[in-house]
Amino acid sequence: MTYKYEDGNLNLSLNEELDMNSCKMLRTVMDGYIMRYQPKECVVDLSEVTFMDSSGIGLILGRYNLLKLIDSKMTILNPSGSIKRLLEVSNISNHITLRCE
Amino acid sequence: MENFMRMEIKALLENVAPVRVAVSTFISNLAITIDELMDIKTAVSEAVTNSIEHGYDGIFNDESTVIVNIYTKREDYDDIKIEIIDMGIGIDDIELVTTPTYTSKPELEHAGMGFTIMETFMDEVSIDSSKDSGTTITLSKRLKKKKSIV
């Protein structure tokens, strides 16, 4: 994972397969950056993520709930076709903005 | 033609990724689309993760393993059947655990979507479980393309 912070915007770029094994570690790391920068918006960039299962949904929802507590928005950037379908099945797309560019 | 592959892993989360890779490599020579391949990979990941996280919850030891068997049948359409077998604690209430967003471990940020995803991405999901003797999940899918293209 890499991160970039600029003008209230925190960008977290994930580049691993999101399963239970990686998510256990990632949630602590992501929360660390969120609490450190307390951004206005947090963009979770999935451009490089080639696989995700429901653990990834848990990861995204957990960060979404934390961001909501500090009055911050969340955007999911560039999910692949299959990840987008997974997000739709889990109704995540009703709460969180998806953006492709 | 019929074919199969059988695997047994120690019940560790780090072994889920190698299982996904092995399953997708084994079925990649069928008349399969990338979407179908991803669907199957995701469903297998859910089932194996469940066995490790829930099947062996509290009773994990050096002998705890998960068995994954894949059967393929190539006729007019290709059929895939995958069994995920653990010898863990079993499922008490199958109706409850298959309810969308139900999770026994909310504090671990489980989304409770595992069975919903398996049911959405596969044609058929069957659960055979009894208390203290383990769980077998069977995932089946018929591929949409006729095999003539090869």
**pLDDT mean for each 10 residues of chain A (101 residues):** 97 97 96 97 98 96 95 96 92 87 87
Instruction: Tell whether the torsion through CA atoms of B113, B115, B118 and B122 is positive or negative.
Output: negative
Specify the fold of A2-99: Transcription Regulator spoIIAA (3.30.750)
- Neighboring chain A residues of B112 at a CB cutoff of 8 Å: 54
Amino acid at the residue B129: S
CA distance A61 to A63: 5
How many C-beta atoms surround the C-beta of residue B37 within 10 A? 17
Residues in chain B: 150
User: Is the predicted ipTM greater than 0.90, yes or no?
Assistant: yes
Domains and CATH numbers, chain B: 2-149 (3.30.565.10)
For chain A, the domains span 2-99
The interface residues of chain A toward chain B in range 9-68, judged by CB-CB distance below 8 A, are 17, 19-21, 23-24, 27, 51-55, 57-59, 61-62
The interface residues of chain B toward chain A in range 60-99, judged by CB-CB distance below 8 A, are none
- Neighboring chain B residues of A89 at a CB cutoff of 8 Å: 113, 116-117, 120
Locate all alpha helices (DSSP H) within chain B, ordered by sequence: 16-27, 34-50, 94-97, 114-121
- Neighboring chain B residues of A88 at a CB cutoff of 8 Å: none
Residues in chain A: 101
Beta-sheet pairing, B65-74 with B77-86: antiparallel
pLDDT digits (tens, 9 = 90+) for B20-43: 999 999 999 899 999 999 999 999
Minimal Cα distance from A62: which residue of B?
Answer: B109
CA distance B117 to A87: 10
CA distance B140 to B51: 18
Supply the pTM of this predicted model. 0.94
Find out whether A41 and A74 touch, Cβ atoms under 8 Å. yes
